[in-house]
Amino acid sequence: MNRRWLLLAPLGIAAGAGASFYAMLSGMKRGTFDPRGLPSQLIDKPLPEFNLPGFSRADVVKQGRPVLLNFFASWCVPCIEEAPTLMKLRAARVPLWGIAYKDKSEATDAFLLRHGNPFAHLARDLSGDVGIEWGITGVPETFVVDGSGIVRWHFAGPLPDEAAQVLATRFAA
């Protein structure tokens, strides 16, 4: 009897994978599937406590206005793709703060020299502990924190120009 169940297990796994794939395709057809849709546990919650070389949670909250926080790294290829978009946000005077994730200072400095430095403030998360507290899954990741220190928006991956245009408009208002 146990052998029969073992023989049926691969069929059950294949059926489950097929159902998941069908659900994904159905969502894409309806326009409701977002491959970058990684929900953040921080949305509508206070910014986690952190104190990094460069700035802390208190510094962000002390601004009393919305801030865009961007995790990036010099070794991150999508971060290179995102760099021109972040420079556009800087030109639009969006308060953009950067956190260099698991990156050596010299490498971060060289990256910002080569691709431009869009950040009003720069912190360094050498150990990656702050990134873990924030629940990031990789870099780049961007968060909008409101004036009272509540996380309101999150985007995993390089910010597309369309998102930057919307953010620039919202921050200008």
Domain extents in the chain: 1-33, 51-172
| Spatial distance between the Cα atoms of 129 and 112, rounded to a whole number of angstroms | 22
* CB atoms closer than 10 angstroms to residue 65: 10
Alpha-carbon span 94 to 168, nearest angstrom? 6
Q: What pLDDT is recorded for position 171? A: 84
CATH code 3.40.30.10 for 51-172: yes
Q: Between these two residues, 2 and 59, which has the higher pLDDT value?
A: 59
Q: What pLDDT shows up at residue 128?
A: 96
pTM of the model: 0.78
Please, which pLDDT band fits residue 33 given cuts at 50, 70 and 90? very low
pLDDT tens digits for range 76-118 = 999 999 999 999 999 999 999 999 999 999 999 999 999 999 9
Which are the contacts of 105, defined by CB distance < 8 A and separation ≥ 6? 124
pLDDT band for position 24 (cuts 50, 70, 90): low
Whole-number average pLDDT of the chain = 86
Q: At what angle do helices 105-115 and 77-91 cross, to 10 degrees?
A: 60
Q: What is the H or E stretch that residue 52 is in?
A: strand 51-52
In DSSP notation, 104-128 reads: -HHHHHHHHHHH----SEEEEESSS
Report the pLDDT value the prediction gives residue 38, as an integer from 0 to 100. Answer: 56
The predicted pLDDT at position 25 comes to: 54
* Residue among 147, 142, 151 nearest 119 (CA): 142
Q: Which residues pair with 122 in a beta bridge?
A: 98
**What is the mean predicted confidence (pLDDT) over 56-64?**
95
pLDDT at res. 10: 66
pLDDT of 122 > 90? The answer is yes
User: Given a cut of 60, is residue 26 above it in pLDDT?
Assistant: no
Residue 67: per-residue pLDDT? 96
pLDDT over threshold 90, residue 20: no
Contact 138, 102 (CB under 8 A): no
Is 140 within 8 Å of 160 (Cβ atoms)? Answer: no
Confidence of residue 135 (pLDDT cuts 50, 70, 90): very high
- pLDDT above 90 covers a percentage of the chain that reads 69
